[in-house]
């Protein structure tokens, strides 16, 4: 798995990022090196080890679905790039 | 160290009426105005808000309703949402973002009467170990302006070291409180995961992120932490931890802090050029009745690989919310919705953030999920188990905080792998969700050296206690850079 070629176009499309063609090679090189570093963990035997998703295993408390704090719509939308009558505006989706 | 630069010192002066919170706050704002141009530790200030809060604090003190923090100015890392000031997270993406609510950490400290002094510079979205990835420019280390202050909470650490704030908040995902504290000669506490609410703290890697204090000494850090911690129903990973920490305050359990056994992992001394300073801390603590034993942490070498997979994967997910629709930056004249998303993100994020999003997306993509993400989580469990095994025999673990003292600006910017290695001693702690503290323990070429104590979960009181003991008989924490006098 080391030295694996990364399909950077595919990954950047999944990430919704367009990469500057001038820095494409540098990014590819950096990512390959990061993956080489990461591959070092493959020398460790993890057979029969459960993945640890969280420091306090399996615990994600839910609270009652009640409003604790009300935030004004106008206040919330102050930082939005474009709004109209409480709606967020984006370019036309259906031509 | 002038007492008027510490929380304890300011508290005494406020209580005996020697000085008002308004005077203290005005003085700090004046220092920031005159000296922060060289350091660049603050991103945003709001004099009106700060002075207004100081006046409220003075009234609380006059009425005899003061807490230990009433009237004390605090610099907040610009990752905590604040209603009254922009919250940029060091990114162009959030340059003009004003949160409609306060983070729990902010409101808890405000309720205690603390004064919001300003928002500090940081690596973009907390991704970095040198504070050079900030959209608002690098921060300079007050001990030597050609060196980095560490990161990602570099602005918070530099502000405290330069005496532009008596104390600060920070966040620590892989060392972002401890490493800058170490580089700037300060005491930085990364608490047990879940003890300080993450509500309103902009997410980088949610299973690792934890807020904590950066101060001049352990006593101050204990005070600030005691006001930051506490159960918060708005954070689904929050834990009620007060009962653990306040045992120290009430001193009911004093024997817990005596004759400790401290573990020295072999790796700590083998890879560090700072072992003379660590031998010194060992000698001092042995003189105080504690003993040292060698311990093994067999899987520790895999911490950096496991960390960079988990942190990047969580980051790529968390940062998908920045789409130019509901808040933050939006590109000019988007052609269509897809163009809006892609150009907004490509123009709004910096290089390191993009690198981690790409790494994380790769690790989570079809065909690689098991090989990278799942594998990293299994390794994470083995690392956590190593600590559990060690804590069966020892009360604390001692390591260097960093492999070296603060490095020169731009020395590592083009070498992400070497930059990531800076976190070798700090990331295992985040993977295991444990508490750890960095305290100054010496100097090398006039730059501070940090030592890290790691404790089992919820034993922050042990960390504060042993650090206080060390600081009672040494003066490394009292030294300040000549430019800060």
**Residue-wise DSSP of B298-323:** TTGGGHHHHHHHHHHHHHHHHGGG-S
Which residues on chain B are in Cβ contact (under 8 Å) with A1? 371
Task: Compute φ and ψ for B442, nearest 5 degrees.
Answer: 165, 180
List the 412-431 stretch of B: residues with Cβ below 8 A of A. Answer: 416-417, 420
| Contact criterion met (CB below 8 Å) for A15 and B357 | yes
Asked if A56 lies within 8 A of B374 by C-beta distance, the reply is no
- pLDDT score for B253: 63
Instruction: Tell me the average pLDDT across B333-349.
Output: 97
Confidence of residue B35 (pLDDT cuts 50, 70, 90): very high
pLDDT digits (tens, 9 = 90+) for B375-407: 999 999 999 999 999 999 999 999 999 999 999
Separation of alpha carbons B47 and B301, rounded Å: 47
What CATH superfamily classification does B3-261+393-484 receive? Answer: Amidase signature (AS) domain (3.90.1300.10)
Contact indicator for A77, A36 with CB cutoff of 8 Å: no
Bond into B152 cis (ω within 30): yes
Q: Which of B270, B205, B393, B305 is nearest to A46 (CA)?
A: B305
For the segment B307-312, the average pLDDT, to the nearest whole number, is 96
- Min Cα distance A60 → chain B (Å) is 6
In degrees, rounded to 5, the angle at the alpha carbon of residue B208 between the alpha carbons of residues B203 and B214 is 85
Residue B61 predicted with pLDDT over 80:
yes
Three-class SS state of A16: coil
The Cα-based distances of A56 to A12, A23, B226, B445 in angstroms read 33, 40, 21, 41
Mean pLDDT on B65-77: 97
Is the pLDDT reported for residue B415 higher than 60? yes
What's the mean pLDDT in A59-83?
86
Active site residues of B: 77, 152, 176
First to last CA, chain B: 9
Is residue A85 situated within a structural domain?
no
Q: How confident is the model at residue B483 (pLDDT cuts 50, 70, 90)?
A: confident
Pick the more confident residue, B439 or B243: B439
Within 8 A of A19 by CB-CB distance, chain B residues are 346, 354
Q: Is residue A34 part of a domain?
A: yes
Give the model's pLDDT for residue B268.
Answer: 52
**Residue B233 Cα, gap to closest chain A Cα (Å):** 7
**Could you read off the pLDDT of A6-53 as tens digits, one per residue?**
899 999 999 999 998 988 999 999 999 999 999 999 999 999 999 998
Chain A's closest residue to B86, CA to CA, is A79
Per cent of chain B over pLDDT 70 is: 96
Question: Which A residues, 23 through 52, put their C-beta within 8 Å of a C-beta on chain B?
Answer: 23, 27, 30-31, 33-35, 37-44, 46, 49-52
Residue A1 has pLDDT above 60, yes or no: no
* A34 with B355: Cβ contact below 8 A: yes
Bridge partner residues of B453 (DSSP): B398, B437
**Residue A60 located in a structural domain:** no
Total domains, chain A: 1
B485 touches chain A (CB under 8 A): no
Angstrom distances, CA of residue A75 to CA of A72, B88, B101, B483 = 5, 17, 9, 42
Q: Given a cut of 60, is residue B100 above it in pLDDT?
A: yes
pLDDT at B245 over 80: no
Distance CA B451, CA B447 (A): 14
Return the pLDDT at A2: 44
> Min CA distance, A90 vs chain B (Å)?
7
The predicted complex's ipTM stands at 0.93
SS3 B397: strand
Contacts with A49 from chain B: Cβ below 8 Å: 378, 381-382
- Length of chain A as a residue count: 95
What pLDDT was estimated at residue B274?
75
Q: Which residues of A touch B323 (CB under 8 A)?
A: 16
Q: Mean pLDDT over residues B185-191, rounded?
A: 98
Whether B356 has its CB under 8 Å from any CB of chain A: the answer is no
CA pair distance B81, B103, nearest whole angstrom: 5
* B77-94 average pLDDT score: 97
Q: Chain B: residue nearest A10 by CA?
A: B362
Which of these, B21, B105, B123, lies nearest to B62 by C-alpha position?
B21
Would you say B22 and B56 are in contact if contact means Cβ atoms under 8 Å apart? no
Note whether B97 and A75 are within 8 A (CB). no
Q: What pTM was computed for the model?
A: 0.96
Is A73 part of any domain?
Answer: no
Whether residues A11 and B342 touch (CB distance < 8 A) is answered with no
| B148 neighbors B408 (Cβ within 8 angstroms) | yes
pLDDT value of position B250? 60
Kindly list the residues from chain A whose CB atom is less than 8 angstroms away from the CB atom of residue B374: 51
Residue A58 lies in a domain: no
Domain that holds residue A12: 1-44
pLDDT surpassing 60 at residue A3:
no
* Sequence spans of domains, chain B: 3-261+393-484
Q: What is the mean pLDDT of chain B?
A: 94
Cβ atoms of B71 and B115 within 8 Å: the answer is yes
Lowest mean pLDDT segment, chosen from A19-23, A80-84, B74-78, B187-191: A19-23
The pLDDT of residue B271? 52
Measured between alpha carbons, how far is A69 from B232 in angstroms, rounded to an integer? 13
């Amino acid at each position: 798995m080391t030295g694996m070629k990364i399909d950077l176009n595919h990954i950047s499309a999944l990430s919704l990022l367009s990469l500057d063609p001038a820095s494409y090679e540098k990014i590819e090189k950096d990512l390959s090196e990061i993956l080489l570093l990461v591959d070092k963990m493959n020398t460790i035997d993890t057979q029969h080890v459960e993945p640890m998703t969280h420091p306090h295993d399996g615990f994600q408390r839910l609270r009652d679905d009640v409003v604790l704090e009300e935030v004004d719509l106008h206040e919330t939308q102050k930082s939005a790039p474009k709004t109209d009558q409480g709606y967020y505006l984006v370019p036309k989706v259906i031509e | 160290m002038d007492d008027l630069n510490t929380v304890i010192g300011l508290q005494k002066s406020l209580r005996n009426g020697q000085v008002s919170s308004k005077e203290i706050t005005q003085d700090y704002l004046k220092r920031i105005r005159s000296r922060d141009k060289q350091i660049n530790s603050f991103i945003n200030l709001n004099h009106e808000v700060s002075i207004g809060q100081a006046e409220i604090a003075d009234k609380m003190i006059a009425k005899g309703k003061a807490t230990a923090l009433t009237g004390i100015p605090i610099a907040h890392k610009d990752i905590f949402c604040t209603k009254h000031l922009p919250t940029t997270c060091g990114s162009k993406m959030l340059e003009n973002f004003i949160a409609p609510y306060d983070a729990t950490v902010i409101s808890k400290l405000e309720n205690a009467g603390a004064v919001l002094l300003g928002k500090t510079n940081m690596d973009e979205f907390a991704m970095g170990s040198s504070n050079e990835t900030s959209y608002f420019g690098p921060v300079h280390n007050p001990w030597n302006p050609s060196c980095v202050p560490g990161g990602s909470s570099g602005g918070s650490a530099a502000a405290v070291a330069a005496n532009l704030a008596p104390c600060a908040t920070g966040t620590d995902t892989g060392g972002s409180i401890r490493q800058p504290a170490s580089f700037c000669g300060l005491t930085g506490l990364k608490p047990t995961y879940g003890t300080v609410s993450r509500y309103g703290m902009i997410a980088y890697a949610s299973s690792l992120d934890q807020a904590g204090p950066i101060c001049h000494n352990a006593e101050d850090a204990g005070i600030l932490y005691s006001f930051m911690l506490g159960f918060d129903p708005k954070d689904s990973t929050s834990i009620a931890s007060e009962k653990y920490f306040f045992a120290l305050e009430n001193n009911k359990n004093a024997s817990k802090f005596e004759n400790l056994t401290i573990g020295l992992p072999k790796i700590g001394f083998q890879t560090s050029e700072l072992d003379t300073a660590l031998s010194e801390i060992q000698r001092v603590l042995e003189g105080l009745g504690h003993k040292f034993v060698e311990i093994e942490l067999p899987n520790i070498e895999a911490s950096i690989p496991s960390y960079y997979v988990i942190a990047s994967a969580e980051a790529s997910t968390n940062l998908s919310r920045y789409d130019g629709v509901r808040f933050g930056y939006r590109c000019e004249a988007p052609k269509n919705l897809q163009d809006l998303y892609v150009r907004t993100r490509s123009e709004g994020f910096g290089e390191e953030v993009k690198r981690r999003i790409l790494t994380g997306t790769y690790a989570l993509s079809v065909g690689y999920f098991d090989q990278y993400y799942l594998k990293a989580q299994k390794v994470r469990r083995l690392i956590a188990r190593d600590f559990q095994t060690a804590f069966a025999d020892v009360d604390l673990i001692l390591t260097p905080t960093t492999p070296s003292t603060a490095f020169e600006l731009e020395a590592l910017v083009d070498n992400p792998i070497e930059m990531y290695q800076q976190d070798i001693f700090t990331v295992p702690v985040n993977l295991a969700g444990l508490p750890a503290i960095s305290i100054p323990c010496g100097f090398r070429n006039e730059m501070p050296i940090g030592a890290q104590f790691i404790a089992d979960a919820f034993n922050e009181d042990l960390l504060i206690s042993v650090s206080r003991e060390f600081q009672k008989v040494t003066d490394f924490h009292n030294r300040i850079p000549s430019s800060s006098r």
